[in-house]
Structure 1
């Protein structure tokens, strides 16, 4: 049975951009599982699957509905144990939780300051209204005030990625010789940046850029399919 992945898009359904959804896209390909992606606009999410979740990603696998990217990865690991492992054992699960915290607490903050106005521009009018209201309430600033600091956020990005850069001095992937779910966590953040702004705003010879290119090439280049 084909898994259904509900993800996030703007006015163009062919450009899903959520970092958390990209983690799941890569995890499903890693496991070699057949799936259908159904991108949703922000305001369509609460009306889908009888209001199962207010956020994406979530998946339907037969009768099962599972939300949250990390919980989805654990579900795939538990229910498809004969396919390639996403974690490489319980130690890998714990390490991926650390990477998740680093990505969401450090990298996402910088990426959101760079991409916020670009995301708003990608949305249909109804979703623009929702996005502006929810983000301005969350940030305590207007989108325009956040956008005024975009250049400073771009300048701050290399330092935010220094822990990843350090690791890549010793191995090609966060997972070691080959990628694991921990790679897809940080890849999702930079894929979010690339799709929404057109660039990851790093030099081509940066070790993080080279790692990102390796991730884009995985699974017949699925990461390159959305520009």
Structure 2
């Protein structure tokens, strides 16, 4: 039975943009598992697989339903032991947890502050209203005031925060070493999110992170690159 992936989209159902859903897309491709993507908009998320306050990504694999990108990756490794691993044992999972924490506390906020108006514009009319109301409630100010991450000062600060990533990728082709694992897909998901919704970038053309991103886009038959960048 084909795995079903509930995947966040905006007004165009062919352009999935969630960083967390992209982690799972890459993880499924890494394991060589076919899947059916079910496009879901923000206002539909809570009703996925019976509801109960769900968030996406969610997968259904036969009778098994799993929510949360990291939990899905762990499930895939445990359920499909004969496929290429996403982690190198328990220590690999623990290190990937660190990468996830770093990404969500360093990279994700910078992307939001640089692109939140474009994420808003990416939605259909109903979901623009939902997105604006929910995010302005979270931030306590209008989206127009949240998007302050494009000044040269903010861009330079983000670039400096990415230096540990850059230094690692000067030494090796992937975060996991010679080949990619789930830690790579965690960070790739964030950059793919930005690539899907905006033409803005924190990276210069000769940045080792950009070289790594290009390698990730070409992985697994180019599943990442098959989605055109925002124009």
- TM category (shorter chain) comes to over 0.9
Q: In the alignment, is residue 203 of structure 1 matched against residue 207 of structure 2? A: no
Cα distance in 1 for residues equivalent to 2:54 and 2:156: 33
Q: What are the superposed Cα offsets for residues 164-191 of structure 1, whole Å, 9 maximum, x if unpaired?
A: 1111122110010000000000000000
Cα distance in 2 for residues equivalent to 1:43 and 1:25: 22
Cα distance in 2 for residues equivalent to 1:148 and 1:112: 9
Q: Which runs of 5+ in 2 are unaligned?
A: none
Q: In the alignment, is residue 173 of structure 1 matched against residue 174 of structure 2? A: yes
TM-score normalised by structure 1 residue count: 0.96
How far residue 86 of structure 1 moved from its aligned partner, in angstroms, is 0.2
How far residue 198 of structure 1 moved from its aligned partner, in angstroms, is 2.9
Match in the other structure for 1:35: 35
How far residue 115 of structure 1 moved from its aligned partner, in angstroms, is 1.3
4+ residue runs of structure 1 moved beyond 2 angstroms? 147-157, 198-201
Q: 1:24 to 1:56 in 2, by over 3 A?
A: same
Match in the other structure for 1:226: 227
Cα distance in 1 for residues equivalent to 2:101 and 2:59: 22
How far residue 199 of structure 1 moved from its aligned partner, in angstroms, is 4.6
Q: Give matches, 1:1-227, under 5 Å.
A: 1-151=1-151, 152-227=153-228
Deviation larger for 178-187 or 195-204: 195-204
Q: Which runs of 5+ in 1 are unaligned?
A: none
Contact 2:58 2:67 in 1 (8 A): yes
How many residues matched?
A: 227
Q: 1:11 to 1:153 in 2, by over 3 A?
A: farther
Contact 1:110 1:156 in 2 (8 A): no
Q: 1:196 to 1:156 in 2, by over 3 A?
A: farther
Contact 2:110 2:149 in 1 (8 A): no
TM-score normalised by structure 2 residue count: 0.95
Cα distance in 2 for residues equivalent to 1:26 and 1:77: 13
RMSD: 1.3
Contact 1:53 1:67 in 2 (8 A): no
Deviation larger for 64-73 or 46-55: 46-55
Contact 1:113 1:153 in 2 (8 A): no
How far residue 47 of structure 1 moved from its aligned partner, in angstroms, is 2.1
